[in-house]
A and B are shown apart, each in its own frame.
Chain A
Amino acid sequence: MSAEELSTTLLADAFVSDEPPADLWSRIAAARARRLRARRRWRVAAAGAALSIVAAAVVLFPTANGSGETDWQARAQALEIELHSAPRTAAEFYDPAAAETASELALLDGALQAAYDRGAPESEIVPLWKKRSELLTVLLDVRRRDAAVTRI
């Protein structure tokens, strides 16, 4: 028998009767679940930290130009982060108010982008950000209300 045949035979025979433990998949699945939970916790913590920073910025620097008016852009961005960090509920998908608001928000985003693209003045852009903040507040209220109902 050549050395090559010898080694192939030996290697093929080595451990041939060994089987992976029956519970190996359940251990892998459990490790996967732990990993996903840890990632989810990290995302929530990161979103919370980002929200805190933006909220602090809104509180500390409430105006963009020192005129005493609300910075609607910063407010809308803070609301958006808050909206994304709030758990989405199944009821939200069937809520007509939420659907209508989401669709209005999509149209508004298009208008806002178009305004920026053509270099529209602040006087035109600020009301759009204000409207965006209002729509996000509505969506956030719906999500919070649904979450409360789900908990009950």
Chain B
Amino acid sequence: MNAAHDPGAGFAQDVDAMTLARAQRGDMQAFAAIYERFGRACFMLALRMLGQRQHAEDLVQEVFLKMMDTLRSYRGDAPFGAWLKRMAVNACIDHLRRQRGNLEDDAEAAFAHLPGDHAEAASAVDAAALLARLPPRARAVLVLHELEGYTHAELAALFGQSESYSKSIVARALGRLRTLVSTASPLQQVPPCPQKN
């Protein structure tokens, strides 16, 4: 799979023990090497979950500052990328909680006040625009479930909700995406997104 298509590939990378040890001593060059390796994965995850570049940039900064503060407590029980990814996911969820209007604990309420599926149909061929038309929390749940492989049980724990809430949010979000796509143009006609070589 193309790494540019799979943000998980970024988090799946290893960090050599030397770099990790130097970073744990506060070496900024080692931190820069870690950013070089995981910065994009972290940014992509945040962008997909939050939907806005500025928020994603702020979140990457917040996550890396926190990582630099807490790296000494990292004992290697989990791979470093998984540890960092969990930190990023938690930061995204905290960000959503801090934003007014993203606090719908009821799956029904989360989808209640969305614009009609036929509105701005032309823009729906753009994947990012489609995602932007999901409620923030639903988008985050969907990204974590569909792309990052989180189970409903894990999502329930992360969002402080029940598994049925997570299942309902995912089902409704998928349904909405399907409706949006069908009212726009067939997916086959969506122009391929440019990719870095």
Contact partner, A16, options B5, B39, B177, Cβ 8 Å: B5
Contact of B35 among A16, A25, A31, A35 (CB under 8 A): A25
Interface residues on B, range: 35 or more
Are A18 and B60 in contact, CB atoms less than 8 angstroms apart? no
How far apart are the CA atoms of A4 and B171 in the complex, in Å? 9
Return A44 CB to nearest CB of chain B, in Å.
18
Stretch at the interface among A7-15, A68-76, A105-113, A136-144: A7-15
Asked if A6 meets B174 with Cβ closer than 8 Å, knowing A13-B193, A14-B130, the reply is: yes
B56 surroundings in chain A (CB, below 8 A): 20
With CB as the reference atom, state the residue of chain A lying closest to B129: A14
Q: For residue A9, which residues in chain B have a CB less than 8 angstroms away from its CB? A: 187
CA of A18 to CA of B173, assembled, Å: 23
In the assembled complex, the Cα of A28 lies from the Cα of B194 at a distance in Å of: 28
Q: Is A117 an interface residue (CB 8 A)?
A: no
- Per-residue interface assignment for chain A, residues 21 to 65, with 1 indicating a CB less than 8 Å from any chain B CB and 0 otherwise: 100110111011001000000000000000000000000000000
Name the prevailing secondary structure of the B interface residues: helix
Interface size class of A (residues with CB under 8 A): 20 to 34
Q: Is A148 an interface residue (CB 8 A)?
A: no
In the assembled complex, the Cα of A20 lies from the Cα of B88 at a distance in Å of 15
- From residue B55, how far is it (CB to closest CB) to chain A in Å? 12
Contact flags B64-80 to A (C-beta < 8 A → 1, else 0)? 11001000000000000
The reply to whether B178 and A3 form a contact with Cβ atoms under 8 Å apart is: yes
B11 part of interface (Cβ distance < 8 Å): no
Q: How far is the CB of B179 from chain A (nearest CB, A)?
A: 10
Chain A residues packing against B (C-beta within 8 Å): 1, 3-4, 6-21, 24-25, 27-29, 31-32, 35
Would you list the 6 A-B pairs with minimal beta carbon distance, nearest first? Answer: A20-B43, A13-B127, A14-B127, A3-B174, A14-B128, A10-B127
